[in-house]
Structures are given as structure tokens and as C-alpha cells.
DNA sequence: TCCTTATCGATGCAATTGCATCTATATATA
DNA sequence: TATATATAGATGCAATTGCATCGATAAGGA
């Protein structure tokens, strides 16, 4: 069982992928900070909760969706609740759990973040690659997902 | 001055880029941890220092190369030094600064990390995309770099 | 030369993250 | 039903990160 060594193409692509994605995220986070807005993770959670509608989501459902560790979700939700952006409701059929629902303030915050976030995406991706190239990029990246998924 | 709104293609590509790169890095970090090895950032620094050779590098040179904040580099170097992987030398023509050089132990650690890191890249990229696709991916990502560079 | 400003690198302190574990409830097994 | 095991979510503590600032030396301008 020999460990495989990566091809030069794989190494080059890896380096680009890691560097570029970090830079883009960092630039976006900076833009949010510059506008007095919270980090991207807040947006992700608010976005998922907004999608989920009135029914809300259980924290454990959020975990898979936002790709955060359990304790991070737990604490992030605590901050969001403290800021009145979400509310926690007991759930009738499971005494351990709770349902988290976005509030009106949460929706408003989500809009404000998106104004900056969306503009950042437009600037960093939309302005640099054509729609066709963006589709190609997304397709290639899709093949790297784990676990491997059929698009 | 209207803020632009991103195209659906840009949004989709962004989502893929951020999620996939996070997953891949995380899986690689996990592999390192599972083998009792330090984080990727250690590798990056050791790699740059190994490339730099006997002359070593000044910390501020490291900062641009590894894309870390000044205080992170400062502290990371302190840890590397404490572990005997690098050594700090005073630099003659600048009393403020120092030169950082990789040690023999540092080179050895770099090799050990690469055994896992390289295998991870081979598995996560090399096994999933062809050389041609990897080149396409790298080229598209290259166009997203900041500041815009002529390849 | 004297004074102001810029650069190099370190660090105190607060916030965040990671790890391990805890409490509480639910589910499975006998 | 009694007991063991699994799952939901929170949290104490240590390590790391981010922010602001500091001390020290260099460089630039009067």
C-alpha cells in the first residue's frame, strides 16, 4: 500500500485553490467588517433559516448545512439570539431539542449583509469570469466535493 | 454608483468554491492531525524557508508568501523555534530585524508533513480530475487572484 | 544634527475556536 | 419495565486568533 504522490498539475491546482479561496473570503470578510457587519458565518446561518421559513430548523440540521462544528453552531446561535436575530423555541416531540427561527431583525440583518456580500461576489467573480467560465469552474469544483456526489 | 448584484452563475461558483476548498483543507488538516502532525500553516512556513535556503528569510518576507497576518507569523515562528524547527539569527544591516532559517529538524518535519499532505492532494485532486482539467481549474482560479496578475 | 515619520517584530488583552465532557432526553434491548 | 446506549445541545478549559499598541531601530526632512 504505497502512498501516492501528487502530480505537478494537482499541486499547482491545489495551491491556487487554497490561496485564491482564502483571499476571496478574506476580502469579503474585510468588506463586511468595513461596513460594521458581522462575519460570513452569520449570513450562512441566517440564510439557511430564512430558507427554512416559519418552521425553522433544528440546530443539528444547521450543522450539516453550514459546515460548522456542533459547538460552533451552538455558540453562534447563542450570539444570534443575544442580538435578537433568531429565536429558540422548544420543540414538542423532542424534549432535548429546540427549533431555531429567524426573526424580523434577522431578516433585516440578512438583507444588509447581502448588500455587501453580493456586491463582493459580483466584483470578485462576476467581473472576472464569463458566465460560461463560471459554469465550468463550478462544474470542476463540483467533482471535488466530498463525498463524491452525482451533480 | 450602484452596487452590482451577482449573477446566478457567480453565486453558484462562489458557493462551490468556498465550500469545496474548506472541505478539502479540513480533510487534509484532519489527516495531518490523525498522524500526529502539525497544521498546514507549519508546512507553508517550513516550505518557504526550505526554498529560501541557507540565507533564510526575514519574517516580513514570510508574511506576503504565506498569507498570514504579521502577528500570526510572529507567533508561529516562536512556536517553530521552540520546537527547534527554525532558528532566528540577528541580521547585521538592520538592528530591528532577524533572519529565520530552517534547521535539520525542520527539514525532517517538512518531509514528514509532505508525506501526508502530498498524499492528500493526490487523493483529493489528482484522483478526481485529469491533468487537463486540473490545468483548466488552475487557470480559471488564477484569473481570480488579487491583485490581478498576468499569468 | 535634530526631529518626525515609517518599518520591524513582539505582546497584552479580549474574543473565538477546539477538545473533551456534561446534562438531559430519547431509543433500543432484555 | 429496567438498563444500556445513542443523540441533542451546552460548556469548562486550554490554545489560537484578532486587535491595538508598544519598543526599538531606520529613514527622511528641516
Cα maximum dimension of chain A: 56
pLDDT at residue A125 greater than cutoff 60: yes
Contact assessment for residue B100 and residue B57, using Cβ atoms and an 8 Å cutoff? yes
pLDDT number for residue A37: 96
For residue A1, list chain B residues with Cβ-Cβ distance below 8 A. Answer: none
CA-CA distance, A60 to A113, in Å (whole number)?
24
For residue B51, list chain A residues with Cβ-Cβ distance below 8 A. Answer: none
pLDDT number for residue A126: 96
User: Which residues, other chains included, contact B36 with Cβ-Cβ below 8 Å and sequence gap of 6+?
Assistant: none
- Note the pLDDT tens digit of each residue in A59-99: 999 998 999 999 999 999 999 999 999 999 998 789 999 99
Tell me the pairing of strands B98-102 and B86-90: antiparallel
pLDDT at residue B151 greater than cutoff 60: no
Is A125 part of the contact surface with chain B (CB cutoff 8 Å)? yes
Q: Which CATH architecture has domain A11-142?
A: Orthogonal Bundle (1.10)
pLDDT at residue B126 greater than cutoff 60: yes
- Note the pLDDT tens digit of each residue in A96-120: 999 999 999 999 999 999 999 999 9
- Note the pLDDT tens digit of each residue in B40-81: 999 999 999 999 999 999 999 999 899 999 999 999 999 999
For residue A125, list chain B residues with Cβ-Cβ distance below 8 A. Answer: 6, 10, 13-14, 17, 144
pLDDT number for residue A147: 75
Question: Between chain A and chain B, how many beta carbons pairs sit less than 8 Å apart?
Answer: 184
Which of A3, A22, A141 is the closest to B119 by Cβ? A3
Which of B6, B125, B143 is the closest to A144 by Cβ? B125
Alpha-carbon gap: B104 to the closest alpha carbon of chain A (Å): 23
Average pLDDT over residues A111-140: 97
pLDDT number for residue B1: 61
DSSP 8-state class, residue B129: S
Average pLDDT over residues B105-112: 97
Average pLDDT over residues A127-137: 98
pLDDT number for residue B51: 96
Break chain A into its structural domains and give their ranges. 11-142
Asked if A7 lies within 8 A of B123 by C-beta distance, the reply is no
B117 CA → C18 C1’, Å: 21
User: Which residues, other chains included, contact B99 with Cβ-Cβ below 8 Å and sequence gap of 6+?
Assistant: B55, B56, B57, B58, B88, B89, B90, B91
SS3 B118: helix
- Note the pLDDT tens digit of each residue in B1-48: 666 799 999 999 999 999 999 999 999 999 999 999 999 999 999 999
pLDDT at residue A151 greater than cutoff 60: no
pTM for this entry: 0.93
pLDDT number for residue B147: 74
pLDDT number for residue A20: 97
pLDDT number for residue B55: 92
Residue B150 — pLDDT band, cuts 50, 70, 90? low
Q: Looking at chain B, which residue has its C-alpha nearest residue A10?
A: B126
DSSP 8-state class, residue A126: I
Chain D bases near protein Cβ (<7 Å): 7-12, 16-20, 23-27
User: Residue A15 CB: number of other CB atoms within 10 A?
Assistant: 13
pLDDT at residue B149 greater than cutoff 90: no
Asked if A140 lies within 8 A of B137 by C-beta distance, the reply is yes
Q: Quickly name the fold that domain B35-142 has.
A: Arc Repressor Mutant, subunit A (1.10.10)
pLDDT number for residue B92: 78
Q: What φ, ψ does residue A87 adopt, rounded to 5°?
A: -135, 145
For residue A43, list chain B residues with Cβ-Cβ distance below 8 A. Answer: none
pLDDT number for residue A101: 97
Read off the C-alpha cell for A80: 444570534
- With CA atoms as reference, report the closest residue to A44 among A72, A82, A16, A10: A72
Read off the C-alpha cell for A63: 450543522
pLDDT number for residue B2: 61
- For chain B, positions 36-55, list CB contacts with chain A under 8 A: none
A71 CA → D7 C1’, Å: 15
Amino acid at each position: 500500500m504505497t502512498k501516492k504522490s501528487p502530480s505537478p498539475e494537482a499541486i499547482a491546482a491545489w495551491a491556487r485553490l487554497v490561496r485564491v479561496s482564502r483571499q476571496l473570503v478574506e476580502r469579503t470578510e474585510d468588506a463586511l467588517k468595513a461596513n460594521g457587519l458581522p462575519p460570513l458565518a452569520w449570513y450562512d446561518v441566517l440564510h439557511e433559516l430564512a430558507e427554512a421559513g416559519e418552521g425553522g430548523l433544528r440546530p443539528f440540521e444547521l450543522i450539516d448545512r453550514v459546515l460548522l462544528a456542533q459547538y460552533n453552531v451552538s455558540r453562534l446561535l447563542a450570539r444570534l439570539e443575544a442580538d435578537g436575530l433568531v429565536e429558540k423555541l422548544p420543540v414538542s416531540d423532542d424534549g432535548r431539542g429546540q427549533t431555531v427561527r429567524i426573526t424580523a431583525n434577522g431578516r433585516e440583518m440578512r438583507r444588509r449583509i447581502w448588500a455587501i456580500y453580493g456586491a463582493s461576489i459580483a466584483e470578485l467573480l462576476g467581473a472576472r469570469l464569463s458566465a460560461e467560465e463560471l459554469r465550468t469552474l463550478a462544474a470542476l469544483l463540483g467533482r471535488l466535493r466530498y463525498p463524491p456526489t452525482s451533480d
